[in-house]
Amino acid sequence: MADLIVALDVNDEKRLNDLASALEGQPVWLKFGLEALLAFGYGVIERHSARGFKVFADVKFHDIPNTVGAASRVLTRTGAALFNVHAAGGAAMCAQAREQSEREAAALGRPRPLSVGVTILTSLGPEEVRSVGYEGTPGEAALRLAKVARQGNLDGVVCSVHEAAAVKAACGQDFLTVCPGIRPAGADVQDQKRIATPRGAVEAGADFLVVGRPITGAPDPAAACAAILEQMHGRGPRRA
Ligand code: C5P
């Protein structure tokens, strides 16, 4: 069954605490990305893990293999349950992320964090994908990058819902798909381009749905979150 990850893209302590409290007790993971990690420091992962949340550290590492491997070791100490690197860093870089996080976890006597590769950002449409140098459609580029992540022994990829089935067909059904770009029917699309509804994402085989602003920007984030969980589990609208 797919899990819901709520992206807490905030930089204000009160807002962070209000949102975490609103989500406490719901079966969701939390995601901290660049904004929150820069505002609160990496301790935010540790604090929320200690509170019982599973945390996705959306660090998007992209550097030489040695640097990413070392960073992955340090990140593992925070207790993050999942983290990511850009698959475009290459298979050797992905392999270091996986290997070094696994080693550090073993040294700490903890389960290793899952590691996944970002393929193509869900905010990029076909023109932009071409303009940054990738050949073919966003789907084709994402699939090539998924194969790089697989070769680097990562657990899966971050991709759009539209690529989830093809990624699994090419890399194996156990290869995880973490899918942002989720918008409930009728919600504001904002800067996302390759989107799907919560139900559509589950039907496409996504393992994790990443949802930020439709929850964090809602007047009642707890209710918005509960509504998305309901849609994921089959009682909501099927199409945007
Ligand atoms: O607010 P929204 O639902 O658009 O948030 C999506 C989250 O997923 C953001 O934190 C964004 O950084 C992240 N993300 C994404 N596309 C990717 C990788 C991560 O939107 N390919």
Distance in Å, CA 151 to ligand 1 centroid: 24
Domain that holds residue 68: 3-232
Does 240 fall in a domain? no
Confidence band for 118, pLDDT divided at 50, 70 and 90: very high
Amino acid letter, residue 103:
R
Does 142 fall in a domain? yes
Confidence band for 239, pLDDT divided at 50, 70 and 90: very low
Domain total in the chain: 1
Does 207 fall in a domain? yes
Please indicate whether residue 184, judged by its CB atom, sits closer than 6 Å to ligand 1: no
Does 237 fall in a domain? no
Marked catalytic residue, from 31, 54, 60, 193? 60
Residues 158-178: what's their mean pLDDT?
97
Q: What is the CATH number of the domain that holds 146?
A: 3.20.20.70
Instruction: Dump pLDDT digits (tens) for 170-204.
Output: 999 999 999 999 999 888 898 888 899 999 999 99
Give nearest CA residue, ligand 1 atom 8.
Answer: 180
Q: What is the mean pLDDT of the chain?
A: 95
Look at residues 71, 56, 169 and name the one whose alpha carbon lies nearest to residue 116. 56
Please indicate whether residue 93, judged by its CB atom, sits closer than 6 Å to ligand 1: no
Does 239 fall in a domain? no
Does the annotation count 31 as an active-site position?
no
Please indicate whether residue 180, judged by its CB atom, sits closer than 6 Å to ligand 1: yes
Instruction: Dump pLDDT digits (tens) for 8-55.
Output: 999 999 999 999 999 999 999 999 999 999 999 999 999 999 999 999
Does 238 fall in a domain? no
Residues 147-165: what's their mean pLDDT?
97
Does 139 fall in a domain? yes
